Structure 1
């Protein structure tokens, strides 16, 4: 038998998007990588022959993940119904530019047009405290697309796919397939990303926030782990971070809030305590004027973590520090700049101030339940809960919009709900109060029902013991 040469393998870039890898010679870069200015290399492990087991088909978004993943913009035929109702491209020249969009298929281009266009409200707007931040938010999204950075392109397409799926449920299977594959490559890139300068730090912030957005829209997403991982990596870059302009700091606070809210629920200590005083009185596009609360939220998380792990006779000292934190939260009030009422619309002012009041009340309620178990001192908890629900109802009535970043606060308030009528109302309001994603709504309903079952059993337990029951 004559000796046979090993079969040629596609480079990693062409393999990732399932494109034909054409080379002049074995040592030369392929045509596609040369055209797009990408590094042409083949370093992935050879795939095993034969059919893959079904278990291997499931993609995990937990960190760490495999260093390389099979990802693609799978070629799918566009539905005529979608095309007929699709938004007009926000920039026909950009949309049709083959140099920029050569690696995207028609479905993926359609997602991106849907994200940045004439639909009102845009899918991106639900994250913002008001429309004044609309243009800057959309501009940053487009800039991520047109930069020759594959990690950002994959993350942007993944986000666009899940947002499209949330709006058009009839196309969930097709769009989620594309989104999951793009997200797998983006998360793998995040895991391997190295920071050597401020540009790399910016890229990692954008990439991480994009993947948190994706993870919050899928059943098997892990936004907490992604935020925790990223914050641990960039912790050494704090001096560079504090010099960033507001848009990048907004992304950073998105990571901080994602981790902090989950740590409040889990009674764990976040990655680090921030000095938010250096930001001044700027308005965060996601957190409005509430970001100065996060050092105090860190203190609450730290106390809860200590209570969760200490002996009963060690609690008094922790309670003393916790009461000091309570006094600071109780006295805190947002401090907007003098032109706050002039620069923003009435609805934006209402949303931002209501968000601050809700998060402040949530901090007080969690502190109360760290000090007293559910079933004891319920009167004070009921008062805080009613005040929070009243704030939610008021902002919905005035603005007809939900308040961003208040899902945990709504959970804490509704944990105190007694009686079938009040609980039915709490569940019925979830789609109006929590608009971030359908998965967030499902998670909230599930946690509320579990909590109410526990309380109906007349079991007395502290907030820091929730993890043992859920």
Structure 2
């Protein structure tokens, strides 16, 4: 009888895998209540591949994969110079970049996409010295990136979209993914201080490189959307100094290709988020967003904005109306009343929530998020109409609706649930209800530390309420403009 293969859990922990005849799981997985599987890729026989010098300043690392797609195999006919992934993005010529981008078309089928090599496996090899990194499970991917997803059900679609964007524009994304993976790995270890200075320096390098990289195709545009939201997130965590400048720059570069990208459903995980994030910032600053969301699939549920995606075109319209009223104030605005009616009548697509395979906890979060974003939009509309000190009771009622939804989720969701995708709405509520934002923040996030964006809001919140207690009766947006800077956080 052939020996039974060591399970994935024991293999990753380098533990002896013992089995009993009457048990489907090994002894260790049964004792620890772990999933006992053997789905990892086998390591190829022989010595692991090593990096080989091919000439001055030229080196190629052979990444082993059991599931190379036909498009990847055909690319092996390129010259060694073209196969090289340079750590300096300026060295990648536009001609070479276009050749790489042509390897996979945006209309690739689902069967082709699942064969792509995983970015965590490829970049993770750097931490395994000369060995090939084991392919990470969906659970490991979620644990690393959980702050960017409402729940585990979004893992596969997000992972697929990242893999696709990375493969089609490696010359743009390789360095950024390396920084992001290292940073997120560190933040998951509470006792290890965040290496802010080193990460800030690398983010600055990536920003300089992005300025000289040519955007010549939809694949480049997609990569810049991924790059922009990732760098903006890192900036928000570390210093929160230029998050929106980064995001808006990449949205501007990607705008000509956005209608094409929006047609591809499997790219929603990386195309929806940056556009919606900028809309939130523009709502606070009374500016017009760069891209109006194209909703080809009203039932889409985003990893970060959930079922609120169909609300975003209305919020874009609200940005336009608010910007125009900022430039030309008027007592009555039919456009604002129209937007308010649309928001009042808006409801999330219930079928997309209940029939898409989400867990009970995720469905509860999705419905709660939709409710609080709707209340937040109505609160903003109310404050466009009325200054502080006028009709405050209605504003407080909207704020109470937001906070009551939060309390309901925390009460029924269990001790481990974190409602981290309602920060924008909760922070708006705190401008009507004088509660301490530090205590609220701890119940919202899974981060083990307080990022720079939260510290900024704490400072603004203190300034804001000082002005109100001293009798300020003007526009809430004037205080946002004149007070300490802070960024919109989804």
Partner SS state of residue 154, structure 1: helix
* Alignment counterpart, residue 217 of structure 1, candidates 225, 237, 241: 237
Partner SS state of residue 408, structure 1: helix
Match of residue 14 from structure 1: none
Structure 1 position 410 matched with structure 2 position 413: no
Give distance in 2, aligned partners of 1:361 and 1:195.
Answer: 39
Structure 1 position 355 matched with structure 2 position 383: no
Match of residue 197 from structure 1: 217
TM-score (norm 1): 0.71
* Alignment counterpart, residue 151 of structure 2, candidates 110, 115, 130: 130
> Contact 1:115–1:123 at 8 Å: present in 2 too?
no
> Contact 1:263–1:269 at 8 Å: present in 2 too?
yes
Q: Gaps (5+ residues) in structure 2?
A: 1-50, 62-79, 92-116, 485-490
Structure 1 position 274 matched with structure 2 position 293: yes
Question: What RMSD, in angstroms, separates the aligned Cα atoms of the two structures?
Answer: 3.7
- Relative to structure 1, the CA distance from residue 114 to residue 124 in structure 2 (aligned partners, 3 Å threshold; closer, same or farther) is farther
Shift of 1:441: 2.6
Give distance in 2, aligned partners of 1:96 and 1:362.
Answer: 37
Shift of 1:23: 7.7
> Contact 1:193–1:204 at 8 Å: present in 2 too?
no
Match of residue 433 from structure 1: 444
Give distance in 1, aligned partners of 2:169 and 2:278.
Answer: 30
Greater fraction helix: 1
* Alignment counterpart, residue 84 of structure 2, candidates 35, 38, 51: 38
* Alignment counterpart, residue 327 of structure 1, candidates 341, 346, 350: 341
Matches within 5 A, 1:336-351: 336-337=350-351, 340-341=354-355, 343-351=357-365
* Alignment counterpart, residue 316 of structure 1, candidates 331, 341, 344: 331
- Relative to structure 1, the CA distance from residue 281 to residue 179 in structure 2 (aligned partners, 3 Å threshold; closer, same or farther) is same
Structure 1 position 371 matched with structure 2 position 385: yes
> Contact 1:158–1:180 at 8 Å: present in 2 too?
no
- Relative to structure 1, the CA distance from residue 395 to residue 36 in structure 2 (aligned partners, 3 Å threshold; closer, same or farther) is farther
Give distance in 1, aligned partners of 2:407 and 2:324.
Answer: 35
Aligned residues: 385
Match of residue 398 from structure 1: 412
Give distance in 1, aligned partners of 2:407 and 2:322.
Answer: 29
Structure 1 position 459 matched with structure 2 position 469: no
Shift of 1:35: 7.7
Give distance in 1, aligned partners of 2:87 and 2:176.
Answer: 21
TM-score (norm 2): 0.68
Matches within 5 A, 1:47-126: 100=122, 104=126, 122-126=143-147
